[in-house]
Amino acid sequence: MSELDRREFLKIVGLSAGAAAAAGCSDPAEKLIPYVVQPETITPGIAVEYASTCLECSTGCGLHVKTREGRPIKLEGNPEHPINQGRLCARGQASLGRTYHPDRIAGPATRSGDGSLQPIGWEDAKAKLAAKLGSAAGRTWILGGPVGPSLDGLLDQVAQATGIAGRLTYEPFGDHALLEASRQLFGAYAVPVFDLTGADLVVDFGSDFLDTGRSPVEHARQLAAGRDVAAHANGGTRVIAISPRQNLTASNADIWVPAKPGSEGVLALALAQAVAQARGNATVSALASAGSKAAALAAAGIDAALFDKVAAKLAGARRAVALPPGVAASTTAGRSDAAAVLLLNAAVGSIGTSVKYPAADAKRTASLADVKKLIEKMNAGQVECLLIHDLNPVFSLPTALGFREALAKVELVVAFAPLADETTELANLLLPDHTPMESWGDASPRQGVRSLVQPTIRPLFDTQAMGDTLLAAARATGAAGVASLPAGSWKSVLEANWSGTSWRHALARGGEFGEMPQRSVSLVEGLSGVRVGAPTISGSGDLTLVAFPHSYLGDGRGAALPWNQEIPDPVTKLSWNSWVELSHEKAAELDVTLGDVVTVATEAGSVDVSVFPRGGIPNDVIAIPIGQGHTVGHYASRAGDEDPQPGVARGVNLADLLPAATDEAGARPSSRRRRRSRRPAAIAGSRCRSGRTTSASAVSHPSSICTTSRRRAASRTSSPRRRRWPPSTPPTTPPITPPITSPRRATKRAAMEPPEGTTSPARPSSSTPATMPIRISPIAGA
Amino acid sequence: MHESHESMPESPLDSRTDRHRRDLSPRRAGSRAQRVGSLCFGLLTAGLATAVVFWSGWPTPGEGAANAAASDVQVATGVCDAHRLKALKADDPSLEIEIPAEFDKQWPSASACQSAVDAWDPTAPGPKQPIPFSHKHHAGQFKIECLYCHSATDKSQAAGVPSVELCMGCHAQFPTEYDEIEGIKILKQHWEEKKPIEWVQIHRLPEHVQFRHNRHIQAGVACQTCHGPVEEIDKLHLVPDTKMGYLVPVAKLEMGWCISCHRENNQQASQDCLKCHY
């Protein structure tokens, strides 16, 4: 009898006794799996940190990636990095989860006719792309999000070498309005750095700089230092927050000015005028001559005393900084709003001291208008191949633009995203990139600061760096221009771009951190006065929708990460869902309460969303966070819930409510002429009440909140993800579960439904002045 | 878990040995019976008594094909087998053995051969490791320092298990005759295939405890304090706790045991909860 048989027999004899004995007593055996060859730098149990860069948003904070045995386990800020100086926001912390994400695309794949994915090898995949680039480069476009300077340069080179028709870099939360305003006022096409160090007054025009602003980690640090009571006998920096909704910044501000949505620009111009007069600044006073206190008071809906108080504080401040509107406060008049705020900075003399312009111009990126043109081309069948990277346009572009439909007309849609999303679902060639933790790359958050991205883990899946994929595909086309492409791999291209510095030193430090070369700017000679029209809101309702970026989800790219979903919103304490904020009075008037599902409709579409009544929001304003509403993703959608519902959105996508409108800057971002373009008409077409919306893409448009229906839509209500432990403990977020439908409510709802034929209220003229006239009409049907 | 074991033939690399398996040998029967209580005790004793009787005439590992009728001339099939036959002959001079010239060698030594056999002794307690590695042979007989192989113990919270490369650092220099030993054969196989060895963990603390090896080594605590006389054991195993029937390293590695030592050395050792639970 062989040894094997004997052992088998041994098992059988022992099994019954052993199984009976061991029930529940012992853990399954754990394995100790040492290295085959232990790397010299690694001692099991001792963490090794690598310097890298956070790519979660475009701020470009430096990272220290803590790894154990070759696995990144924790991210911290790089203390040497000038932007974040050792700090890291929650989104940065959560970005660790991308690498270990269940949505990772395991390798290159093609999508067959029935929508299923067929894995293919990298060689075949690249050959497929190369064939298309070779035959139809002139009908190929690249659409992507912002990438680091080296990858950006390589993409341009590849596009040029292969003769690709065009390349668009589109940032949903881009700073177009500010760039255009800077050019208008100072002739500098650059985003200024707002330095709060040493400021004794910060006036925030709705950018929410402590939460979702331009550089929240940096600004929070500067403000904290400025408010350090030990260092400042008078209490330090004062903050005035101008925002219709009491956001995180307004909650922490000394003065909250609940100005009506869209009035930021008018208010800024009036303040600039008042401050310039008080300080005797004739130049600014002349430029801001259009600013009138009366108009501002009317537009903002605030009383004169509050205005005078803010103006007096600005006039008396030693150093004041005014922060231009961000995403939540962008309107169709975005450029004029930003210009008015810059003018206010000029009035208080902070241009050049607290508002610093870099010496170099910013690289022009695509605006929503450019994307619209691309969509037109796609619809016209002029785009045969579309390469999409670092962007989820199917999710983040306004649904009304029809990107999804246009994509169906493109023969080959190539997606480079490492995680499955709405766009990869529609792509027919997936060439997954590494996640940032697995990648080489760089970032340039501002001039003078270059930051490196280095891999801290060997790629977990069969992915390839986009730079390598494109280089290989471009070379394989054999096009004439290919000879001009840099030799070697993406990493060697990156190293070549860093050839002026010590590579090893830069890697160890995380980059090259110098002072930003500053340009001295002054107001352009012969500038005509800045004008901001009164905020006008098209539409036929009495509510104004403010679309604000979610604290952790950004433009929606953070929704895939479970940590971002789980951490409660800092103001409402809600998680794992969308909500609509409205005032307690409004809620009482509409007879809705926490968790009721209401329909919010604009002319672009409507969504059903749970109600969160709160203080700190005017009665005529509602607010919904941007970022949720994904239909793809283990965490982003409801596909990974305990009760899995693939394809069902978690929360609502604000893109469904946003019209395809753009602002002055967006309409002609590449034009040197500064004439005002015709703004697309915002159309009022709401069923119930409508108001004005602001959006990521500098949009103003009407919205409405429709009848409240106490529907028991369990899948849509925002009771957070079911918690497994402890089962009896109430969730940390207020449970928003709808009450049971009562007949009375049903009657109410019926009464509030608009009658047939009332769904097309008056609309404004198609040619609108600088700011959009918006009619506020009574509730349709009510 | 058991089902999968049943359906799967056990290869030398198969290390899916769980704790139940440690009880399958007759010698372990008593301790397991204590552990599971009187109900199982009877069942187990009866079954194993049968098994012991049934097995008594069976070969033990290492005897292999050389096991034949006593009257025949026994021919060695390898160097290790030659060592075994020589030992038998020394005990019983009447035994007729034949050692072919190619197996009549000093290396691998008899003790090396024996250690590999003992490390996989199915009758010994402890899980079967993927390699018949004997701590007694390495740390006991050859007095290799614990920290030579578990080299991170004084630096890291984890003691660390040596890499295959470290094993090969010595074993690659051994003559090829040593490949006859099962453990070395498997080791070299792992090295050639660049495949890590999946050892079965013996000493394990619950996840809510943070234990730092380096602190204890730096404080001069001997490895044996917690791990037992490893240098005397061929097949590493846990010992039964007499009161509860659990399998424990040397003493029950529970908080009371830790604290008692920390109290005795309270000048050096902290008794703060958060030192270990964080």
In chain B, residues with a C-beta closer than 8 Å to the C-beta of A24 are none
Are B163 and A33 in contact (CB < 8 Å)? Answer: no
| Whole-number average pLDDT of chain A | 80
Question: Is the pLDDT score of A688 beyond 50?
Answer: no
Are A17 and B23 in contact (CB < 8 Å)? Answer: yes
Q: What pLDDT score does B105 carry?
A: 82
Q: What pLDDT score does A727 carry?
A: 33
Residues B59-95 pLDDT 10s = 444 444 444 444 578 888 888 889 988 888 888 888 8
Residue of A38, A48, A71 to mutate when probing chain B, most B C-beta within 10 A: A38
Distances (CA, A) of A701 to A299, A333, A603, A760, B276: 17, 11, 8, 15, 58
Residue of A1, A2, A3 to mutate when probing chain B, most B C-beta within 10 A: A3
Nearest CA in chain A to B190: A36
Compute the distance between CA of residue A372 and CA of residue A155 in angstroms, rounded to an integer: 21
Q: Exposure pattern of A522-560 as b/e (b: 16+ CB <10 Å)?
A: ebeeebeebbbbbbbbbbbbbbbbbbbbbbbbbbbbbbb
Compute the distance between CA of residue A607 and CA of residue A586 in angstroms, rounded to an integer: 19
Are B198 and A38 in contact (CB < 8 Å)? Answer: no
Nearest-CB residue to A13 (from B51, B165, B198): B51
In chain B, residues with a C-beta closer than 8 Å to the C-beta of A34 are 160-164, 196-197, 199
Among A317, A349, A439, A351, which Cα is nearest to A390's? Answer: A439
Nearest CA in chain B to A43: B152
Q: Exposure pattern of A178-200 as b/e (b: 16+ CB <10 Å)?
A: bbbbbbbbbebbbbbbbbbeebb
In chain B, residues with a C-beta closer than 8 Å to the C-beta of A25 are 35-36
- Chain B closest-CA separation from residue A567 CA (Å): 21
The single residue listed with the structure tokens 């080179």 is A157
Residues A412-426 pLDDT 10s = 999 999 999 999 999
Residues A261-290 pLDDT 10s = 888 999 999 999 999 999 998 989 989 888
Q: Express the helix, strand and coil content of chain A in percent, nearest 5 each.
A: 30, 20, 50
Compute the distance between CA of residue A569 and CA of residue A211 in angstroms, rounded to an integer: 10
Residue A635's H or E segment, with its range, is: none
CB pairs under 8 A between A and B: 144
Residue of A13, A16, A36, A40 to mutate when probing chain B, most B C-beta within 10 A: A36
Are B191 and A36 in contact (CB < 8 Å)? Answer: yes
- Chain B closest-CA separation from residue A69 CA (Å): 11
Are B156 and A43 in contact (CB < 8 Å)? Answer: yes
Residues B158-195 pLDDT 10s = 888 999 999 999 999 988 888 889 999 999 999 999 99
Nearest-CB residue to A36 (from B43, B44, B194): B194
Nearest-CB residue to B164 (from A8, A32, A36): A36
In chain B, residues with a C-beta closer than 8 Å to the C-beta of A6 are 58
| Residue B39 vs residue A540, higher pLDDT | A540
Residues A198-214 pLDDT 10s = 999 999 999 999 999 88
Residues A622-662 pLDDT 10s = 999 999 999 999 999 999 999 999 999 999 998 888 776 66
Average pLDDT over residues A247-273: 93
Residue A216's H or E segment, with its range, is: helix A216-226
Residue of A33, A35, A43 to mutate when probing chain B, most B C-beta within 10 A: A35
A92 — pLDDT class (breaks 50, 70, 90): very high
| Residue A218 vs residue B29, higher pLDDT | A218
Q: What pLDDT score does B205 carry?
A: 84
Is B123 an interface residue toward A (CB < 8 Å)? no
Residues A577-614 pLDDT 10s = 999 999 999 999 999 999 999 998 887 888 899 999 99
Average pLDDT over residues B125-143: 92
Residues A463-520 pLDDT 10s = 999 999 999 999 999 888 889 999 999 999 999 999 988 999 999 999 999 999 999 9
Phi-psi region of B228 (alpha: psi -120 to 50; beta: other; left: phi over 0): left
Residue B257's H or E segment, with its range, is: helix B255-264
**Secondary structure tally for chain A: helices H, strands E:** 23, 29
A690 — pLDDT class (breaks 50, 70, 90): very low
In chain B, residues with a C-beta closer than 8 Å to the C-beta of A47 are none
Q: What pLDDT score does A377 carry?
A: 95
Q: What pLDDT score does A535 carry?
A: 58
Provide the whole-model pTM.
0.76
Is B82 an interface residue toward A (CB < 8 Å)? no
Give ∠ CA A403-A405-A408 in degrees, rounded to 5. Answer: 110
Are A34 and B197 in contact (CB < 8 Å)? Answer: yes
Q: What pLDDT score does B257 carry?
A: 84
Beta bridge partners of A614: A583
- Chain B closest-CA separation from residue A31 CA (Å): 5
Compute the distance between CA of residue B26 and CA of residue B28 in angstroms, rounded to an integer: 5
Q: What pLDDT score does A700 carry?
A: 32
Q: For the CA atoms of B256, B259, B261, B266, what is the dihedral angle to 10 degrees?
A: -160
Both structure tokens of A64: 């220290």
Nearest-CB residue to A21 (from B36, B51, B160): B36
Q: Exposure pattern of B102-127 as b/e (b: 16+ CB <10 Å)?
A: ebebeebbeebbbbbbbbbbbebbbb
Both structure tokens of B159: 């003691």
Q: What pLDDT score does B249 carry?
A: 62
Is B171 an interface residue toward A (CB < 8 Å)? no
First to last CA, chain A: 91
The residues of A whose Cβ lies within 8 A of any Cβ of B are 1, 3-4, 6-8, 10-22, 25-38, 43-46
Question: Is the pLDDT score of B50 beyond 50?
Answer: no
Residue of B16, B24, B167, B205 to mutate when probing chain A, most A C-beta within 10 A: B24
The single residue listed with the structure tokens 């094993």 is B167
Is B158 an interface residue toward A (CB < 8 Å)? yes
A235 — pLDDT class (breaks 50, 70, 90): confident
The interface pTM score, or ipTM, of the predicted complex is 0.71
Give ∠ CA A499-A505-A507 in degrees, rounded to 5. Answer: 85
In chain B, residues with a C-beta closer than 8 Å to the C-beta of A29 are 16-19, 127, 200-201
